[in-house]
Structure 1
Amino acid sequence: MQLKKSITDMENHNNFKVSRRNFLQKSGQLIVGFNLLNFLKLDNIKKNSSVKPDKKNIIDSWIMLDSEGLLTVLTGKMELGQGIKTALMQIAAEELDMGMDKVKIVIADTSRTQDERYTAGSASIEGSGKAIRNAAAEARKYLLTLAEKKFETTAENLFVENGKVISKINQQTVSYQELIHGKRFEIEVTGKAPVKSPKDYRLIGKPVPRKDLAFMAAAQSYYVQDLRFPDMVHARVLRPPTYSAKLLSFPKSEVLALPGVLKVVVNGSFVAAITTEEYQSIKALNRMKQLAKWESPLISPLQRDLYQDILSNTSSSETVEETGNVEQGVAADSKIHEAVYKRPYQIHGSIGPSCAIGLWEKNQLIVWSHSQGVYPLRKTLSDLLKIPEENIRTIGVPGAGCYGHNGADDVAADAALLAMQMEGKHVRVQWMREDEHTWEPFGSAMVFKLKGSLDGTGRINSWYTELWSDTHSSRPGGKAGHFIAARDLEKPFDFQTGGFSGGSHRNSVPLYNVKNRKVVLHNFKGPLRTSALRSLGAYANIFALESFVDELAEKAGKDPVQFRLEHLTDERAKEVITTLVNKAGWRKNKKKNFGEGMAFAQYKNAASYFAVKAEVIIDPVKKTFKVTKLTGSIDAGQTINSDGIINQTSGGMIQAASWTLLEQVLYNEKGVQSKTWENYPILRFEEVPDTEVILIDRPEKPPLGAGEAAQGPTAAAIANAIFHATGSRIREIPLTPDKINWDKV
């Protein structure tokens, strides 16, 4: 079955000018509103136009219980393949003592769910999960109060089983829906309702299966790329040859004459063809490429000069942290070590190129998108189109690959612009592989200079990091210039960067106990477009930091594991490392042509603890190596869904291995050249290492973000394993065999 029925069944798309509160009052019996603001302190929550005036400074979210006893959870978070839908349903079902078969969820829809800004792999359970837990606990408390009155007893004499309240005295039962008997109750969550004790959990911590995986495995319609509507039309956008290129001439009539072409849109340098069938749009695009004439400025600096240019053209600098006196510390020590590490531009590499559908009808715009933030997308579309936000509805539909700010928002802008040209028609815009690889925002290239010194006992006395990075945050946040199409219009919108965010220096501060420490961030503006790639700056920061720790351990003549433990005071940090080496083993016997490396980090120095061991084998004759196994140990606090954390961690290790071993954007003065999988290779199935994840569950602790914990440590562990096997230290990603000094092997 195609997705069109499930989407349109959600709500009549021609009548959505209704507040979330009114929608829920009309469609559910029990409504529980709660404030997410306290749980989303990092999300910079802004006013939501659809919230009533008395609620304008908070974010409301709801759970609904209908007359049939079904529970609906509504969340503004987006399903990105991380299994957030299942985990959030587990939390609600646990607190209300309901079966998973009686729970469903609605995600990321500006007419139905609250504004939770962006979905990130490290924040959804911490924010939305905690809020849903509190709301469900408040609902349970209220329902038990109703049952007390009905049975003329106290809560101590009642228990709940699968949505039914049962009297311990006479075994009388009453269902949740019978207790509310068709009436609507609006309850404000106080935050004081008791949540379940971990010892009473039935669902939390268990590997509850994800229903969506069955759709993926069976190749059934699931993604926005699969979405179809009756009489839908198709479009392709002709992108310029490079950034800032201007259209000089374009024979519009020749493209209009092609079979199936309904309209050709030319607005400044924004060019697109809308056709009846999809393949017709592809043929139209190919013809447009042949016909268009451009003025294309050259890209500078060239790739060979990139790292030197980064070091030479700092736009601003800031001290991230300074403790003690690094200069005096270094001067007092006899063992000093310095190293430089480099990370290239990297692509998100979504398996399915970005896609969106737009519908402009009766002065209302609907956009179906796999954006990570449907509310920021709506706000930015409002600025682009100059129509009120309340006239725009953005609906989140999962996409085939995400990993951060890829092309999802840009293609949504394409669909919106073209839908305005075809009133009453669903306009589907599908990017091509070349579009995705060339025009999405990349992960920034980065350079790191690290300097450290050891005291007489072999402990780190001083640590100095300088890092250079472009922005890791240019997501749409209300300014249309964040869309690439907006910059090409006849009346273009200027691009205003999201600023050099904390994402640049994420995890740059060592968690290790070092007396003298200083970290300095240098911002630069590079030649390519950048934004959030999974874990932002943490990936490269940890690669540099944990490689450097290994190098200091070598200089101190100490085992890398023991060296780390000597510098840690956080007991959870130490346990995640010792758990890893106790279960996975550690350098018990030196094997020929074999290497083991490990690395550790606490993501953002505040979320999940993760340690990983990489195993590599080398072939000195062929001068190659292969990563054969990655074993990770993770402490994400309270586990909601054990399979979810294991899958996220395993996937993170594999993706990080691909980044580390193979991936870099190639470009020249004429633009990005990494347009296909052939010139931007990722790990193939036969190259993927075995993975094992050791899960440390702490049900008594708050859940921590786990989605991005594996990225940086994996990169460093591989580099450290290569050094162990070859004696050759590689400090520039990708870690390719040609960078190894094979004469040492």
Structure 2
Amino acid sequence: METTRRNFLQQLGYVSIGFSLMGAAPVPHSFLAPSKMRGSGKRPDQNHINAWLHLLENGKVLIMSGKVELGQGLRTALKQIAAEELDTRLDLIEMQMAETGKTPDEGYTAGSYSIQSSGMAIRNAAASARETVLKMASEKWGIPISQLQLKDGEVIGPKQKISLHQLLAGRQIEQEVGTPSEFKGKTVRRFVGKPVPRKDIEDMVRGNPIFVQDLRFPDMVHARTVRPPSYTSEFVSMNESDFDTQPGFLKLVRKGNFIGILAEEEYQTIQIMERAKKSVQWKSEDYLPANTPLKDYLKTLPLETKTQEDKGDAQTAIDQSQKRHSASYFKPYIMHAPNGPSCAVAIFEDEKLKIWSHSQGIYPLRNSLAALFKMSEDDIHIIGVPGSGCYGHNAADDAATEAALMAVEYPGRHVRLQWMRDDENGWEPYGTAMIVELKAGLDANGKINGWQYEVWSDGHSNRPDGTPESLLPARFLDEGYGAPGIGYKGGAVRNSVPYYTIDAVNVQSHIFLGPLRTSSLRALGAYANLFALECFMDELAHKADIDPIEFRLMHLKDPRSIDCLQKLRKNTSRIDLAEGEGLGYAFCHYKNETAYFAVAAHVKVDRKNGAVQLKKMWAVIDAGETINPDGLKNQTEGGMIQSASWALKEAVRYDARHITSLDWNSYPILRFPETPETEVEVIDRPDQPPVGAGEVAQGPATAAVINAIFNTTGVRIRELPVTTDALINA
């Protein structure tokens, strides 16, 4: 355990470095610079404290997390958790996130699990570290632990104190993570539960370099990919000598149907790429169902049918009900639509590959790249860097793969590969189209007797998992990798089983392999399932002539659910509605096991032109123990607004060969002037475990908007997005 100062610095020290951004301000080290901790490509042992935290010579503590900062404020929340357990000021906590061989392998940053998994792992490690150093000081001084405290990096006794660095003599805390006797996040709450500001927000507002798109390295070259006309196109020919005289041209990379351009400057690369598009000849065929309504087409595909829930005799209960109702709902393909198209930087030298990427899973990506390049995982080093916009499995892994392909073909210099807007819109993995059909029966008191639910969906995740098929460029290489298939089927049925108390329930899923590339988009299948379920609940309430909130409360027993709805009713009770305006409500218990969420939407509809104005949205959220209430509100507000955009604007369009929604005109999103006012109330429950909340708003928020439109106009919209034509015709 003994070590010299020099070895300590080489192995465990933390040096902040900055990259030149086109000769301007350096990129902040806290987001873009990897640590200088020396280590192998092996995964740290997560059972040991030093996998999660390192003590630095300058008195600070370096916290390691395998999760990625995606704009959700995770970096700040994890700092709060660590600072609380270590009783240490926030400015003495440094963060190292998502770097292979340095941080723990925590899989993907997805599913609203980051606080539940990484946050609680860090809480355990930090609390274990606190108790370990107090025990060490107790033994050193012969003083009972009850007379000692850890404060701002020092152990303090009745008459003495010592820094952690001195106490450990340059060592790290290598003990296993134990079972701490106390979590200060549950008892003291000096930092946890407080609205600690995110320092990265100011950088974003000022346009300072913070994203992977901002990375610049000395002597860096630029790359672009020449896209084929469709998923199935095959290369025929091109004049490869046509580019040799182009300014800045370095190399044309062609591997099977994959074509890439390398040049000295970014604009030069774009010009050469455009020239290449005109030069290359492809063999393409029509294969997309452009002439068949998508909802009809999806039901013609082969299906894998499975019963998700079968309780009581739902059909008989419905048949014997005094009132019966049925409805069908449809959600189209939608895209991630990030503000900044995907980007990555890679360098290949000394037979090793180093990549900077905004991937949601650096270790799974490394596994897949190792298989693709037939390299050892230890020879691939990936550093997670925030991307400009991420709501699931977008094209980050694809851009990283393309940058790596180009870097291997042009070793020794950093290769920056930036997608164009039409690349991003046309080639990312989309959120799948879905169909939901519902039937239910009501008794004389308006209670639901029976419930039948059917959902049609593609899979909802084709993330990198150790095989190349999930990486878009792989399917165009000579090796013959194909498309990955359906993917994660479980995402399709998320929240398909109603959380409401109903005696007879039958839920069936029908999984298909659709025509477009799909993967994880925020909330996965819960978005369409909750949109349909919560609209149907409103329709049943209308049929029973019962207030929509009261109708939901009739079918709920969980007091936390009831609290959310009652608080929402109170918060919206004094709203004055003008002519042409209405309120809509919705609720969910996300995944039927995590956060509780109730939402209301206030809309105004112009009866002449069908225009919908979303004026305000309210929400009440219960995510258990709240780490940062401001961050939780930000997540919730963002989810509500994005969901409203999906409801009112967004749908992927295509012709017989490829996507046609390639810009912001053909794929409109909610703009700033259209953004509603938001009001979010957080119910903090320190006695409960914290749960994720990044996806909870998606389905209910859309349902609230649709329900508000119905309450304004009497028109029930069941197919997204809402169009002016549909409203006018109705």
Q: Please give the alpha-carbon distance, in whole angstroms, between the structure 2 residues aligned to 1:405 and 1:734.
A: 22
Matched position secondary structure for 1:532: coil
Q: Could you say what secondary structure the match of 1:254 adopts?
A: helix
* Cα distance, 1:180 vs structure 2: 1.8
1:185 and 1:294 mapped to 2: Cα distance? 59
Per-residue CA deviation, residues 246-274 of structure 1 (Å, 9 max, x unaligned), is: 11111111023211110001111111110
Match 2:515 to one of 512, 515, 527: 527
Query: Please, which runs of 5 or more residues in structure 2 have no aligned partner?
Result: 1-24
User: Residue 536 of structure 2 is aligned with which of 526, 535, 548?
Assistant: 548
Aligned counterparts of 2:308 and 2:50: Cα–Cα separation in 1: 35
- Judged with a 3 Å threshold, the aligned counterparts in structure 2 of structure 1 residues 364 and 404 are, in CA distance, closer, same or farther, namely same
C-alpha distance in 2, partners of 1:141/1:491?
A: 54
Do structure 1's residue 454 and structure 2's residue 442 form an aligned pair? yes
Map of 1:373 onto structure 2: 361
C-alpha contact 1:463 1:517 (8 A) present in aligned 2: yes
Q: Which residue of 2 aligns with 1:120?
A: 110
The aligned residue for residue 684 of structure 2 is 697
Could you tell me which residue of structure 2 aligns to residue 49 of structure 1? none
Q: 1:139 to 1:539 in 2, by over 3 A?
A: same
Deviation at 1:151, TM superposition (A): 4.1
Match of 1:727 among 708, 714, 719: 714
The code of the aligned residue for 1:3 comes to V
Match of 2:17 in 1: none
5 Å matches for 1:305-454? Answer: 305-454=293-442
Does the Cα contact within 8 Å between 2:80 and 2:90 map onto a contact in 1? yes
Report the equivalent of 1:516: 504
* Secondary structure of the corresponding residue to residue 275 of structure 2: helix
Q: Give, as a single letter, the amino acid of the residue that structure 2 aligns with 1:653.
A: M
CA gap of 1:441–1:137, structure 2 versus 1, over 3 A, is: same
Identical amino acids, percent of aligned pairs: 46
The one-letter code of the counterpart of 1:385 is: F
Pair 299,463 (structure 1): closer, same or farther in 2 beyond 3 Å: same
Q: 2:647 aligns with which of 650, 660, 684?
A: 660
The residue aligned with 1:206 is 194
Paired residues of 1:34 and 1:135 also in contact (CA < 8 A): no
How far the C-alpha of 1:585 sits from its partner, in A, is 2.0
**Which residue number in structure 2 is paired with residue 269 of structure 1?**
257
Asked whether the 8 Å contact 1:656–1:711 carries over to 2, the reply is: yes
Q: Does 1:72 align with 2:56?
A: no
1:62 pairs with 2:52: yes
Please state how far the C-alpha of 1:702 moved relative to its aligned partner.
Answer: 0.4
User: Which amino acid is 2:469 matched to?
Assistant: G
> 1:618 and 1:549 mapped to 2: Cα distance?
22
Deviation of residue 301 (structure 1)? 1.5
User: For residues 394 and 323 of structure 2, what CA distance do their matches in structure 1 show?
Assistant: 44
The change in CA–CA distance for 1:584 and 1:7 in structure 2 (over 3 A counts) is closer
Q: Distance in 2 between matches of 1:519 and 1:331?
A: 17
- Structure-1 separation of matches of 2:533 and 2:166: 59
1:524 Cα shift?
A: 1.2
What CA distance in whole angstroms lies between the structure 2 residues aligned with 1:230 and 1:163? 38
Match of 1:220, SS state, is coil
Q: Which residue number in structure 1 is paired with residue 19 of structure 2?
A: none
The alpha-carbon distance between structure 1 residues 197 and 118, as it changes in their structure 2 partners (threshold 3 A), is closer
1:475 alignment partner AA:
R
CA contact (8 A) 2:298 2:514 kept: yes
**1:129-278, aligned counterparts within 5 Å?**
129-167=119-157, 169-170=158-159, 172-196=160-184, 198-278=186-266
Q: CA offset at residue 647 of structure 1? A: 0.4
Taking structure 1 as reference, are residues 720 and 4 closer, same or farther at Cα in structure 2, changes over 3 Å only?
Answer: closer
User: Alignment partner for residue 295 of structure 1, among 283, 287, 291?
Assistant: 283
CA offset at residue 18 of structure 1? 5.1
Q: Which digits, 9 at most, give the CA deviation of each residue in 1:657-714, with x for residues without a partner?
A: 1111000011110310000001100011100111111111001110011111110000
Partner of 1:94: 84
CA contact (8 A) 2:485 2:513 kept: no
Question: Matched residues in 1 for 2:413 and 2:60: separation?
Answer: 35
Which residue matches 1:85? 75
Residue pair 2:41, 2:379 contacting (<8 A) in 1 also: no
Q: How many residues align?
A: 706
Distance 2:617 2:29 in 1: 42
Q: CA deviation at 1:497?
A: 2.6
Q: Taking structure 1 as the reference length, what is the TM-score of the superposition? A: 0.92
C-alpha distance in 1, partners of 2:616/2:33? 46
Q: Deviations over 1:63-104 (max 9, x none)?
A: 111232210000100000001111111101100100000001
Tell me how far apart the structure 1 counterparts of residues 92 and 595 of structure 2 sit (CA, whole Å): 31
Correspondence for 2:636 among 638, 649, 668? 649
The separation in 1 between residues aligned to 2:348 and 2:624, in whole angstroms, is 45
Distance in 1, Cα, partners of 2:187 & 2:319 = 54
Q: Is the 8 A contact 1:615 1:718 kept in 2?
A: yes
SS at match of 1:709: coil
Q: Distance in 1 between matches of 2:375 and 2:231?
A: 27
Which stretch shows the higher mean deviation, 205-214 or 595-604?
205-214
Aligned to 1:2: 26
Q: Secondary structure at the match of 1:186?
A: coil
SS in structure 1 at match of 2:609: coil
Q: C-alpha root-mean-square deviation of aligned residues, in Å?
A: 1.9
Residue among 83, 95, 98 paired with 1:105:
95
Q: 1:71 to 1:11 in 2, by over 3 A?
A: closer
CA distance in 1, matches of 2:120, 2:32: 30
Measure how far apart 1:589 and its partner are.
6.1
Indicate the larger mover: 60-69 or 280-289: 60-69
Q: In the alignment, what sits opposite 1:30? A: none
Task: Name 2:616's counterpart in structure 1.
Answer: 629
Residue among 457, 474, 477 paired with 2:465: 477
Q: TM-score, normalised by structure 2?
A: 0.94
Residue in 1 that maps onto 2:705? 718
- Identify if the C-alpha distance between structure 1 residues 131 and 460 changes in structure 2 by more than 3 Å, giving closer, same or farther: same
| Matches of 1:388 and 1:560, distance apart in 2 | 58
1:216-271 per-residue CA deviation (whole Å, 9 max, x = no partner) reads: 11111111000011111101001111111111111111023211110001111111
SS at 1:272 equivalent: strand
State the AA in 1 paired with 2:177. Answer: V
Whole-Å separation in 2 of the counterparts to 1:61 and 1:508: 38
Contact 1:60 1:114 in 2 (8 A): no
The separation in 1 between residues aligned to 2:685 and 2:28, in whole angstroms, is 42
TM superposition shift of 1:456: 2.1
How far does residue 495 in structure 1 lie from its aligned partner after superposition? 2.2
Amino acid at match of 2:149: F
**Distance in 2 between the 1:589 and 1:308 partners?**
42
Cα distance in 2 between the residues matched to 1:92 and 1:417: 39
Structure 1 unaligned regions, length at least 5: 22-32, 36-54
After TM superposition, give the deviation of residue 392 of structure 1 in Å.
0.7
